[in-house]
Amino acid sequence: MATDHYTRPHLLQALPVRIVIPVALTLILFILTIFLFILPQMESFMMDGKRETTRHLTETAWSVLDYYHGRETAGNLSASQAQQAAVALLAQLRFGDDGKDYFWINDTTPTMIMHPYRPDLEGQNVAAFTDPAGNPLFADMVAITQTSGSGFVDYLWQWKEDPTHIVPKISHVMAFEPWGWIVGTGIYVADVKAEISAVTRKITLACAGIVGVVLVLSGYIVWAAAASRKERLAAMARSELQEKQLVQADKMASLGILVAGVAHEVNNPATMLMLNAPNLKKAFESFLPVLDDHFARHPDVRVCHMTYPDLRTRIQRMLAAILEASTRIKTLISDLKDFSRPADTRTPFPDPAIDVNQVVEKALALTHNTLKKITPHVSAHYGTHLPKVSGDFQKLLQVVINLLTNAGQALENKDQAITVMTSANQHKNIVTIEVTDTGPGVAGAMLEKIMDPFYTTRRDEGGTGLGLFISEKIVSDMQGVLELVSEPGRGFTARIVLPCAKK
């Protein structure tokens, strides 16, 4: 009895501290890393990328002017015809996500030559024109092109074709000296901020979900420690160790969900880069003989202020850099996904010969008291001479228990039933476990989201939305599939399909 009195305060006081502090520190460090480092870096990279894209678009417009100036120089067009043709072409060009971004042209006086959304300024001297903040934007454009030939200008401007909506804008302008013109285009700062806000919202929701899960688990652990104060010292020590292991596993699972989500968001654009970069390089190399022949006959032609050999080398370097960068991104994504997987997925299955009937029997025994309070109609139909499966008995048991619990929670009255069935298909070399309830079923739109992390319709009842997500991960790690089938009003079926163990 003296030992019990001595160890009880130690357990009640030390256990919560040992659990809560590491979890809290981990969450704090993780959240600080996301919001103080990754998100600001992401915003900076996205803004730099938008500015670089704008510069390339301006160079494209400059090339159009250079093309028509070349036709003027060759005598194919008069000066006015060449200028009118160039203006007409640039005036109708639209680009961007919504196809409303544009080019404009003014000269160095500065007089507006062409503006798709402000035709009222065309032909007017805009030297004294200022934005709502008082910035003489067109005078600034003239100044920067006279100093550097091209550059970026920050100012306030109307949102595309809406003159009543004034927002910050960053434009790149470039001088075309033969005609004394300045051509430019720009990006809206609000577009980039909207993309950053969308990413921030997703990460915030994910972090809030993780905090909720950790708080629930911490509360359970404290309660379990208080309830076990009458146990003997050895039993208390084993319980404490098991609780710590469970918390650590759940903590890493929660972190892995967020890491895998971020990796998935980055994986799609990285895949597009890796798929398109080689094709772009191949296309460019196919054009090289034609370009080499053309510029051999016209060695004095400049493209973007560069000679052809310099441009040829620069494009090849840029294509190589794009391919190398996309490969590095894919490697990083692979590392993140490896981190998010449980460590034992890379090792042989701990249980090479699992009897699924035993799994179902044990799951029904463990959930018997819970399910009998919901409905007396719980039945099981066991297949005979079923092949064994390879995997983790305890984790597969966890999945079946979760499916049985979900089925019980779905029932609306005691007349509804739950049925468990095991079977095998020798031709397909698979074993199946089905858990079916006769509850209200799930609508198609909800069925598509039901296995998403943190998606739950029982949040007010303490649901975390992780049960089916983790169950699907466990079944997938065993090389199987978790299938969900339902129609509103006709019940719900969860089907675990596993490959037979190799003999």
The pair of structure tokens assigned to 283 is 């296309």
Residues 6+ apart with CB under 8 A from 250: 213, 214, 217
Q: How far apart are CA 380 and CA 435, in angstroms?
A: 9
Contact 178, 153 (CB under 8 A): no
Going from the C-alpha of 433 to that of each of 183, 356, 400, 404, the distances in angstroms are 67, 8, 8, 11
Rounded Cα gap, residues 238 and 446, in angstroms: 41
Query: How large is the angle between the packed helices 233-297 and 2-33, nearest 10 degrees?
Result: 10
- What pLDDT is stored for residue 46 in this prediction? 78
Could you give the CA distance from residue 187 to residue 170 in angstroms, rounded to a whole number?
5
The phi-psi region of residue 383 (left if phi > 0; otherwise alpha if psi is between -120 and 50; otherwise beta) is beta
CB 400 within 8 A of CB 438: no
Alpha helices in 411-466, H assignment, sequence order: 444-449
Q: Answer whether 259's CB lies under 8 Å from 336's CB.
A: yes
Q: Is the pLDDT of residue 12 over 60?
A: no
Contact 466, 378 (CB under 8 A): no
Closest CA to 92 of 79, 83, 82, 101: 101
All CATH 3.30.565.10 domain ranges of the chain, comma separated, are 351-499
pLDDT the model gives residue 404: 92
Summarize the confidence of residues 185-204 as an average pLDDT: 80
Instruction: State residue 234's pLDDT score.
Output: 65
Residue-wise over 123-137: b if at least 16 C-beta within 10 A, else e? Answer: eeebeebebeeeebb
DSSP states of 33-72: HIIIIIHHHHHHHHHHHHHHHHHHHHHHHHHHHHHHHHHH
Q: Does the pLDDT at position 139 exceed 70?
A: yes
Statement: residue 347 has pLDDT above 60:
no
The predicted model gives 446-466 an average pLDDT of: 65
pTM above 0.75, yes or no: no
pLDDT at 426 over 60: yes
Domain with CATH 3.30.450.20 in the chain: 49-193
Fold of 49-193: Beta-Lactamase (3.30.450)
Q: Are 145 and 175 in contact (CB under 8 A)?
A: yes
pLDDT tens-digit profile of 295-327?
788 888 777 778 878 888 888 888 888 888 777
Residue 173 in 3-state DSSP? strand
Class of domain 351-499: alpha beta
For residue 76, pLDDT beyond 90: yes
- pLDDT recorded at residue 360: 92
Identify the pLDDT of residue 343: 43
pLDDT in tens, 13-31: 444 566 667 767 877 887 7
- 454 near 216, Cβ under 8 Å? no
